[in-house]
Amino acid sequence: MQRVRIRIKGIVQGVGFRPFVYSLAEKYSLRGFCLNDSEGVLIDVEGTDIDGFIGELKTRHPPLARIESLSVENLRPVRYSGFTIKESQTCSKSLPVIPPDTAICQDCLRELFTREDRRYLYPFINCTNCGPRYSIIEEVPYDRCNTTMRTFQMCKDCLEEYTNPADRRFHAQPNACWQCGPRVWLTDREGNTLCEDRDALQMAQTLLKEGAIVAVKGLGGFHLSCDAENHQAVRLLRQRKRRPTKPLAVMSCSIEMIKRYAMVNDTEERLLASPESPIVLLRKLPRSSLSALVAPDIDMFGVMLAYTPLHRLLTEGFTALVMTSGNLTDEPIAISNEEALNGLSAIADYFLLHNRPIHTRVDDSIVRTGKRGSLVIRRARGYTPRVVRMTVKGPELVAFGAEKKQSITLVTSGYAIMSQHIGELSTLKTLEFLRESLEKLKRLFSIEPTVVVHDMHPDYLTTRFAKEYAREHAIEQENIIAIQHHHAHIGSVMAEWGLEGEVVGVSFDGTGYGTDGCVWGGEFMVATRREFTREAHLLYIPMPGGEKVVQEPWRMAVSYLHALYGTGFDCYPEEFVRRVGERGINAMIKLIERRINSPLTSSAGRLFDAVASLTGLRDTASFEAEPAMILNSLAERTRDRGVYPFQIRENGTMEVDTLPMVDAIVEDVKRGVPPETVARRFHNTIVLMIVDVVDILCERTGIRDVALSGGVFQNMLVLEEVTERLERMGLGVYHNRAFPVNDGGLSLGQALIGLERVKKG
């Protein structure tokens, strides 16, 4: 007889760990107890086969659990009489465990389609290993009475499962069935109920088949749905949503279905079927039955595997359904039935509703994979609110991010908690969503920030909001910290990888306010967690019309052409002049020459825009980065190894002169070189620019670690090529993985730098 005390740390609460321990103890005939406390799970057992027990603890634990450490201490046997799960011991200082929403598990899926099961076709089936979590939690601790499931009284059968430690629904807080749980119904756009339960799902399917647009209430909000194979329906959805070209996500019921229209490798298959179940960006098959309007001009589809029982039932029988966020442009997604009926009735013909309230809106996450692993591009459902350990300790803090792909980060006792993706901060409703998210996270994690961090841009809504917040909460001036945009990008990499000391940082993205008042975005720096010095940047070039250039890339093309050839229109590509018109070009030149509303920029994103326009791909953009995405898609189609010329000039900070490259591109375009070849050569050149400048900086400073961040690195061609080459030079290369490389990850970097600055005092 042997007795041990086992301490397990990591993600072990709210994930079915104790029932697992219970059944394992039974299997090995062990006696004793286990409990949750502030440090994780504590097990105290005695018996004869302790080793076998520990072995299985480590290897067969529930899918959502992550064991960070497991320590064993030998004790004198005390002859326990049985095995029990003891009451949780909570310690006020510990960080509460708030599990993320989780995709339906295999066991529940099996029951869902078992005719004899009492939950046969029940759209809200769940268990300890799966189901809604973060989206339904109102208060901590995570108990049914603190979730939106509070109003549903469990029936006898459900309660029995819930209280039986040997059951796979032991303490499954959202546990429910046809008898006692949430229900689903279908309405027209006036809100009149047409039918309920299984009929509602069936009728929704029939209507979708006929080409209708249905608003579907899901896990973290509404989707707008239509049959992805129905060209008319997709066109109608685009028209009504006023979303001409931005790719629409699709959802299918099985991996086999997905393989009919997209290429899926093992990593991608694992991701699609993971508990997080994000939208995965997959390469399109050359010919597929999906409407070309799902993702026009781009070689990828954003695909989800149905992740709730409701979605699983709905997608059955379709190759794929379009499942795009149920929102109006730049507004947060709708979560309540009323919100949806009011806001989406001009878009959807029918509404598939249910009565399990969504407390917190969470969009679908987006992930893409590459040769070297996956990148989270949008961090929301399934990932939020997982915490990151910070290696700096400091006061409680909130970092407000930037303005696009907004997220906020809160810090407490050595942990950072990033909010879900909030969206584009251009409407009051998104600002309201930000405020709401901040208040909820503060409450759930009991954080009261005494330090506020924001972007250096004086006009960002978040900057104003941060200052207002500081005033309202009497936060001292010295604890309001502004951080340069691209330093924050590099900081986010340092936070994610726990990097200390100096790094060479490369931040290529669209827009960020520079310390000289110019619009930065093609930046090379030497950075620590506290400071940075700008060592090099792409050539400054005017942005005629300011931010307007984002929607009208042709303006940037004119700016480069003007820098190269002045008003000598005969040097401009003829095609370009014909498409854009001399009047437009003249107007831009006037702005540039008279320096009216033409701030200087070193943005790499704007360079992509200009090239996309010069090559005739896009003169206007219906969403940010559209030209860059199309350029990237084209470049992937060829392996041309050509490189355009450029120059690295030294004058204090280095300047990468991009004009020789644009000149060569214009030559290629005039000679009728195919756009994919130009696109590829352009990509090759961007890679070379980065590698050359980093080489110089590493040589000069002796630094061996390089951090890459900023929206341009969502471009796998650039990211992978740059990483490979720098690694071949013996450098350590780091970039964001679990956090967005775009502005969605910015608040994490701000939080880290903010902490360091306060520490310094």
* Residue of this chain nearest to Fe ion (CB atom): 509
3-state secondary structure of 708: strand
State the Cα–Cα distance between residues 11 and 276, nearest whole angstrom. 15
Which residues does 667 contact at the CB level (< 8 Å), separation at least 6? none
Interacting span for Fe ion (CB under 5 A) from 220-228, 285-293, 542-550, 741-749: 741-749
| Residue 85 binds which of Fe ion, Zn ion, none (CB < 5-8 A, kind-dependent) | none
What single letter denotes the amino acid at residue 172?
A: A
Distances in Å between the Cα of 230 and the Cα atoms of 138, 280, 326, 362, 638 are 40, 22, 19, 28, 31
Cα-based torsion angle of the residue sequence 446, 450, 456, 461 in order, rounded to the nearest 10 degrees: 50
Q: Shortest distance, CB of residue 62 to Zn ion, whole angstroms?
A: 10
Residue 620 contact partner, candidates Fe ion, Zn ion, none, CB within 5 to 8 A by sort of partner? none
Measured from the CB atom, is 169 or 405 closer to Zn ion?
Answer: 169
CA 589 to chain centre: 39
- Contact region with Fe ion (CB under 5 A), list: 25-33, 38-46, 674-682, 738-746: 738-746
DSSP string across 64-100 = T-EEEEEEEEEE------SEEEPPP---TTSPPP-PP
Query: Which residues ranging from 505 to 534 are in contact with Fe ion (CB under 5 A)?
Result: 509
C-alpha 79 chain-centroid distance: 51
* Cβ(714)–Cβ(745) below 8 Å: no
Region near Fe ion per CB under 5 A, out of 268-276, 277-285, 651-659, 735-743? 735-743
The nearer residue to Zn ion, 147 or 369, going by C-beta atoms, is 147
Total number of residues that touch Fe ion (CB under 5 A) = 2
CB of 405 to Fe ion, least distance (A): 9
Judged by CB under 5 A, the residue of 186, 743, 745, 747 near Fe ion is: 743
Query: Closest separation between CB of residue 142 and Zn ion, Å?
Result: 16
Q: Are strands 732-735 and 705-709 parallel, antiparallel or unpaired?
A: parallel
Nearer to Fe ion, 205 or 714 (CB): 714
* 167 touches Fe ion (CB under 5 A): no
* Nearer of residues 46 and 743 to Fe ion, judged by Cβ: 743
Range in contact with Fe ion (rule: CB under 5 A) among 569-577, 638-646, 701-709, 740-748: 740-748
- Min dist CB 77 to Zn ion, Å, is 37
Pick from Fe ion, Zn ion, none: which does 705 bind, CB < 5 to 8 A by kind?
A: none
Smallest gap from residue 28 Cβ to Zn ion (A):
25
Residue 509 interface partner, choices Fe ion, Zn ion, none, CB cut-off 5-8 Å depending on type: Fe ion
Min CB(155)–Zn ion separation in Å: 3
Contacts of 154 (CB under 8 A, 6+ apart): 162, 175, 176, 180
- Nearest C-alpha neighbor of 12 from the set 39, 49, 32: 39
Q: Strand runs (DSSP E) across 379-531, as ranges?
A: 387-389, 397-399, 409-412, 415-418, 451-455, 480-483, 503-513, 519-527
Q: How far is the CB of 358 from Zn ion (least distance, A)?
A: 19
Give the sheet arrangement for strand 66-75, strand by strand: 66-75, 2-11, 40-47, 31-37, 83-85
Tokens of 277: 């179940």
Minimum Å gap between C-beta 550 and Fe ion is 13
Site residues, Zn ion (CB under 5 A): 105, 108, 127, 129-130, 155, 158, 177, 179-180
Nearer to Zn ion, 157 or 695 (CB): 157
Judged by beta carbon, residue 363 or residue 509, the one nearer Fe ion is 509
Q: What counts of helices (H) and strands (E) characterise the chain?
A: 22, 31
Q: Cβ of residue 85: shortest distance to Fe ion, in angstroms?
A: 47
Select from Zn ion, Fe ion, none the partner in contact with residue 285, using the beta carbon and a kind-dependent cut-off of 5 to 8 Å.
none
Which CB sits closer to Fe ion, 394 or 401? 401
- Shortest CA distance to 487 belongs to which of 690, 704, 752, 744? 752
Site residues for Fe ion, 593-632, by CB under 5 A, read none
Give the nearest distance from C-beta 106 to Zn ion in angstroms.
8
The answer to whether 112 and 397 are in contact (CB under 8 A) is no
Q: Which residues of this chain interact with Fe ion, rule CB under 5 A?
A: 509, 743
